[in-house]
Homo-oligomer: A and B are copies of this chain.
C-alpha cells in the first residue's frame, strides 16, 4: 500500500479545497473524522476508516456509517484527545506501515471553532507525531501549512495555486532562524517567545531558504 494518507476532519465543508473530491480520488488512503466521514459518504467516497465521537451527526447517520465503512472507530465524547488528534495519530500509524515518501494531507482543520483550529495546528507537536512532522500538510481553500524542524529547507512559490504570500510561524522557541531569498529576509533570529513572521513574499520564481538550528516551524502559504 502506498500513496498519501488523506485525513478529512469535520470543519465546515465550505473551507475544504474546492477540488477535494478529485484530490481524494487520485489514490491513497482516506480517513474520515467525525463530520468529515459523513461528508465523504454524502460525496460518494467510502473512507478506509472512520474515526471520532460522531457527536456532530445523527444516530441514523451513525448507523449508516457503521454499515458502509469497514473500519469504524467510535470513541466516547469523554476522551483524552480531540477527534483531530485521533485522526492524525491513526494516519501516523498507517504512514509508519507504509514506510515510504508519502505525506499526510489533512483537510477540514479550519473554519468554525477557533479552539479546534489552534489544536489542529499545534497537534503535530505530540511526541508520537513529532518525528513525522515534515510529512504533514494542512490544507484548506485559502492556505497550505507545512511543518519543518531543524536544518536547511528550500521552498518555491505555489504559483499554480496563486499562493504568493508565505508566513513563518514558530510553534516552539527557535534558535538561529534565517530566511533568505524572500522579499523580507531575516537573519539569525532566536527567541523562546512565539513571534510570527507574517506576509512575506516570494521573489519571482526564486526559491526561499529557511534554516534553523532548533525548533518547530509552520510555513503557511496563503492567498487573499
| Chain A interface residues toward B at CB < 8 A | 56, 82, 110-119, 121-122, 125, 140, 142-143, 145, 165, 167, 169, 171-173, 192-196, 198-199, 220, 222-224
Most chain B beta-carbon neighbours within 10 Å: one of A56, A82, A115, A220: A115
Say yes or no: B143 contacts A196, CB within 8 Å: no
Q: Give complex CA distance A199, B119 in Å.
A: 10
- Neighbour of A113 across the interface among B114, B122, B143, B192, CB < 8 A: B143
Say yes or no: A193 contacts B222, CB within 8 Å: no
Say yes or no: B113 contacts A224, CB within 8 Å: yes
Say yes or no: B171 contacts A222, CB within 8 Å: no
- Neighbour of A172 across the interface among B125, B140, B193, CB < 8 A: B193
A82-B198, A82-B199 in contact; A56/B122 too (CB < 8 A)? no
Set of chain B residues within 8 Å of A194, measured between Cβ atoms: 122, 125, 171-172, 194
